Amino acid sequence: MAKLVTGVFKTRVAAEAAVDAILKRGYTRDDISVLMSDATKNKEFAIETGTRAADGAGIGGAVGGTIGAVLAALAAVGTSIALPGLGLIVAGPLAAALAGAGAGGAAGGLIGALVGAGIPEHRAKVYDASLRAGGILIGVETKTDEEADKVEKLLDELGADHVRQE
């Protein structure tokens, strides 16, 4: 049975390392969700791809590569949405769930949107606090319980906080 495994990373570098490790396990960007606040996106991803600033930073113009899979996921057309009422940027499978919940959940904030997307309320409160503190939530849609256990262990080993399976 498929399970969502989630963890919160404190930095862009740590989140990108986690996404890269997940991709190496055979998952695709369509299996991975990324959730962060607008403020975190603006702070952590301030250098835009394809600019001279990016070239000077050694990043280059291509999305992906050394800039990391997280930014590539955010830049992918159709998989990234902004939820302005909630101040969030979401990429991946959680995007559709939060978009539906976010429309009615904006008044209830992120917690209401996460609960509407199927995350238990106590966990939604933890994620809300973590995202407000600048964290980046990574979620992986796993295919089996065994794979969920392996991804949970991987996220934990990579330094994620609040690693859980749904």
Look over the chain and give the mean of its residue pLDDT values, rounded to a whole number. 75
Structural domain span for residue 107? 3-165
Alpha-carbon distance of 112 to 104, in angstroms, equals: 9
pTM of this prediction exceeds 0.75: yes
Total number of domains constituting the chain: 1
Per-residue pLDDT at 48 exceeds 70? no
Instruction: Tell me what the mean pLDDT of segment 39-68 comes to.
Output: 51
Instruction: Quick: pLDDT tens for 97-115.
Output: 776 655 444 445 778 777 8
Structure tokens at 150: 């392996």
Band the pLDDT of 83: cuts 50, 70, 90: low
Among 46, 54, 20, 24, which Cα is nearest to 34's? 20
Instruction: Tell me what the mean pLDDT of segment 82-89 comes to.
Output: 70
Instruction: Quick: pLDDT tens for 65-75.
Output: 434 556 565 55
Sheet holding 136-142, edge to edge: 80-83, 88-91, 32-37, 136-142, 3-9, 161-165
Alpha-carbon distance of 86 to 128, in angstroms, equals: 11
46 burial level (CB within 10 Å; 0-12, 13-18, 19+): exposed
Alpha-carbon distance of 166 to 159, in angstroms, equals: 19
Instruction: Quick: pLDDT tens for 129-150.
Output: 999 899 999 989 898 999 999 9
Helical (H) or strand (E) element with 73: helix 69-75
